């Protein structure tokens, strides 16, 4: 009978359940008492949340943001500023970061989301760069040197909170994809003018999508600030933090629920492998990886499995956009 959403705009149900299982497994990483692994998987969870966030505005709503790192950075600085004023509670920091993200997304979203395509992309990039610049210039935020954040004695706390942020983002994405909200986003992506005529208040829903994506990235940023113990403009607003979530979403499958986390896992694995084998030039390889992913897997790995004809999909991708 009529399926509501699942399979359509959520991607495969199996992949979602597999991701939940993965999350369950990841819950036990701190038990291994291995600092390196804990950092590694906390990173995956962090990027998972950020990628899920990007996925909402870029994958579902179709507004390709090239500056979502601004939310991550603001979240990180929120935590740092709170800590500088004596509030060292990571959960409070996450909550405040979420509020900051919503306010920021609303204030800047209303003008910027009027732009489409390339213009929106570059405007968000400009926004991220400008915000980073302004923060670097203000002493309140520690200027170029940054701020330190006091860490709790129970360090694995930050792993668990990051895990919760990632899980929360995953479940929120799933809920959205099955709901009217998800359809509003996708309708805007597919044909924004038609969506408006069908009764969708496009401005409201676009801002909502961006705000939710901001909450996910901002929460991740807040936890990161604590886990890292220190935050400065280059760390908070780094290009890696900006681009990785996008590539991860693309790699896993943009516009699906399971894609971003899958992509986060795979890309981190690739990155770590490259780093350990080619410490000096791994970024070059990474650039090559991005190029290859874009050329050969534009619809993500999960699409590959759905298609079941791997070679044909590869070639199709190559030929689809040629002149």
Pick out residues in 72-131 that bind other proteins (CB under 8 A): 111-112, 114-119, 121-123, 125-127, 129-130
Restricting to residues 199-258, name those near other proteins by CB under 8 A: 199-202, 243, 246-247, 250, 254
Q: Which of 27, 37, 107, 133 binds other proteins (CB under 8 A)?
A: 133
Task: Report which secondary-structure segment, H or E, holds 236.
Answer: helix 233-236
Please, which residue, 116 or 150, has the CB nearer to other proteins? 116
**Helix, strand, coil % over all residues of the chain, rounded to 5:** 75, 0, 25
- Cα–Cα distance for residue pair 140/246, rounded to 1 Å: 31
* Residue 6 near other proteins by CB under 8 A: no
Please, which residue, 17 or 204, has the CB nearer to other proteins? 204
Find the shortest distance in angstroms from Cβ 297 to other proteins: 11
Find the shortest distance in angstroms from Cβ 322 to other proteins: 6
Q: For residue 234, what are its two tokens?
A: 């280059």
* Residue 197 near other proteins by CB under 8 A: yes
Contacts of 42 (CB under 8 A, 6+ apart): 158, 159, 162, 227
Please, which residue, 118 or 150, has the CB nearer to other proteins? 118
* Residue 179 near other proteins by CB under 8 A: yes
> Contact at 8 Å (CB) between 251 and 263?
yes
Find the shortest distance in angstroms from Cβ 150 to other proteins: 28
Look at residues 279, 248, 280 and name the one whose alpha carbon lies nearest to residue 261: 248
* Residue 298 near other proteins by CB under 8 A: yes
* Residue 136 near other proteins by CB under 8 A: yes
- CB-CB neighbours of 140 under 10 Å: 10
* Residue 307 near other proteins by CB under 8 A: no
Cα distances from 290 to residues 79, 240, 245, 285, 305, in angstroms, run: 31, 12, 12, 9, 20
Rg (CA), the chain: 19
Q: For residue 43, what are its two tokens?
A: 């990173």
Q: Which of 99, 145, 180, 309 binds other proteins (CB under 8 A)?
A: 180
Binding mask 53-72 for other proteins (x = CB under 8 A): -----x---x-x-x------
Find the shortest distance in angstroms from Cβ 229 to other proteins: 25
How many CA atoms within 13 Å lie on the side-chain side of 282? 13
Please, which residue, 39 or 317, has the CB nearer to other proteins? 317
* Residue 311 near other proteins by CB under 8 A: no
Give the binding range for other proteins (CB under 8 A) out of 33-41, 92-100, 155-163, 284-292: 284-292
Q: For residue 187, what are its two tokens?
A: 């309708």
* Residue 194 near other proteins by CB under 8 A: yes
End-to-end CA separation in angstroms for the chain: 42
Please, which residue, 77 or 286, has the CB nearer to other proteins? 286
> Contact at 8 Å (CB) between 257 and 16?
yes
């Amino acid at each position: 009978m009529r399926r509501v959403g699942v399979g359509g705009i959520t991607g495969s149900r199996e992949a979602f359940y597999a991701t939940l299982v993965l999350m369950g497994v990841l819950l036990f990483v701190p038990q291994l008492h291995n600092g390196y692994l804990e950092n590694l998987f906390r990173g995956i969870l962090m990027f998972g949340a950020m990628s899920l966030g990007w996925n909402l505005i870029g994958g579902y709503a179709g507004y390709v943001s090239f500056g979502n790192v601004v939310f991550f950075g603001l979240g990180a600085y929120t935590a740092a500023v709170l800590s500088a004023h004596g509030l060292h509670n990571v959960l409070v920091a996450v909550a405040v970061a979420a509020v900051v993200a919503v306010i920021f997304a609303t204030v800047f979203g209303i003008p910027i989301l009027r732009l489409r395509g390339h213009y929106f992309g570059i405007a968000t990039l400009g926004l991220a760069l400008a915000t980073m610049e302004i923060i670097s210039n203000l002493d309140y935020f520690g200027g170029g040197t940054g701020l330190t954040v006091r860490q709790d004695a129970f360090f694995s706390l930050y792993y668990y909170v990051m895990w919760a942020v990632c899980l929360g983002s995953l479940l929120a994405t799933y809920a959205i994809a099955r709901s009217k909200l998800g359809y509003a986003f996708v309708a805007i992506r597919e044909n924004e003018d038609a969506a408006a005529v069908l009764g969708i208040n496009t401005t409201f829903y676009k801002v909502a999508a961006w705000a939710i994506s901001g909450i996910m990235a901002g929460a991740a940023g807040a936890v990161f600030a604590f886990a890292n113990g220190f935050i400065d403009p280059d760390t908070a607003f780094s290009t890696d933090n900006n681009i990785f979530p996008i590539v991860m979403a693309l790699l896993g499958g943009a516009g699906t629920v399971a894609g971003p986390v899958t992509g986060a896992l795979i890309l981190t694995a690739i990155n770590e492998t490259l780093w350990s084998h080619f410490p000096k030039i791994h970024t070059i390889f990474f650039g090559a990886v991005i190029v290859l992913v874009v050329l050969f897997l534009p619809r993500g790995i999960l699409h590959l499995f759905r298609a079941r004809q791997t070679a044909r999909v590869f070639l199709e991708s190559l030929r689809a956009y040629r002149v």
